[in-house]
Structures are given as C-alpha cells and as structure tokens.
Amino acid sequence: MKKTRVLCLTLLGVISLSGQQSSLLAIRHVSVIDGTGAPARADQTVIVSGHRISAIGTEGSVQVPSGAQIIDGRGRYLIPGLWDMHIHIRGSRLAGQGSFARENEAVLPLYLANGITGVREMGGDMVDTVLKWRDDIAQGRREGPRMVTSGPKLDGPNPIWPGSIPISTTEEAKAAVARVKNSGADFIKV
C-alpha cells in the first residue's frame, strides 16, 4: 500500500516544526485539496503571508517572494486545517487525584501537529482557564488551535457534570444565559 503524505495548512505548526521563523512561506509543487469537493489541483504553489494565504496558483504562475521559507510539496497534498467539533477540557471532577490543567494544556500544540487548527470546546469545569487559553491563542501568546467555547453547560436542577449551572426556573435560565454570555463564551450549551 502506497503511503500518501498530507500537509495541513497549519502555519504555526509548519513553521514550528521546521525550526524557521518567517512571515512568508511558499509551498511549491503541492497538490491542493480545497475542501469544496473539487478534484485535487496538482503542481500548485501556495504563498502564506503572516497567517493568511495570499496566493494559490499553478507552479510558475505565482511569484515566490524573496525571503520566503520554501517547502517542497512534491508527492504531498495540502488540505485546509481540520476542526475537532466536540472536545471537553475538564479537571476538577477528579480533584482528589490532582489538577489536570497542565495535561490539558500540553495537548493544545498536539492538535496543530496533527492538522487540527480549530476546536469547539463543549463545556467543562475549567471555564476561566479555557477562556484564557482561547484568548492567548488568538493573540499569539500560546500555541494551539483556534478555540470556541460554550463556557459552563446549562443543565437541569441536578447536573451530573461539575461546573454546570443548575436551572429550575425560567428566571434562572435567563440569568444563566446572561452570565455565560457576559463571561465571554462563544455559544451556549444546554
């Protein structure tokens, strides 16, 4: 069986793994799968400036900027970054066994190394930590995938998951939604 090598467009991961620090990247002779259902486009050059793709075209039709880090993509495929749409970052449920903040934090760069450039965190008991990590990643202070989070879950009067907000009345539901929104969560999980 022939092994196919796939490059995910994870700029931070590509630069970190290559040991280079350049704001310009050129991936040459790569086959691009754009995620639209169109067939792969062979022998493409992809230029990345900062955190954005600035040009894609057939080899020779795209000017490679001087000073760009060049990656030879022959025999490889470039795909959009992947998303893990259901993760939980939690730790206090097993508080008697120690905090899991460091273990959760250590996983963040592994997402990038595996082509996952975004995650949807579906609620846990480390809300303040997750919000800080999300903001740190967005500001470039921490390596990790783009993160959206629900903050704490909204649940019935007797939630089973630590960190959930118990709700019994319409008034409690309205107050809980406002609290989660005001905390900076990206969406609400019921």
**Domains, in order of start, for the chain:** 5-80 (2.30.40.10), 83-183 (3.30.110)
Share of the chain above pLDDT 90, in %: 71
pLDDT at res. 5: 52
Helix ranges (H only) for the chain are 11-18, 101-113, 127-138, 170-183
pLDDT tens, residue by residue, 109-124: 999 999 999 999 999 8
Confidence category of residue 167, pLDDT binned at 50, 70, 90: very high
What's the mean pLDDT in 137-148? 95
Question: CA-to-CA distance for 153 and 8, rounded, in angstroms?
Answer: 32
pLDDT at res. 92: 59
Nearest by Cα to 85 from 129, 177, 21, 148 = 148
What's the mean pLDDT in 14-36? 75
pLDDT tens, residue by residue, 124-135: 888 999 999 999
Average pLDDT, the chain: 87
What's the mean pLDDT in 60-72? 95
Residue 59 or residue 101, greater confidence: 59
Question: CA-to-CA distance for 80 and 65, rounded, in angstroms?
Answer: 22
Share of the chain above pLDDT 70, in %: 84
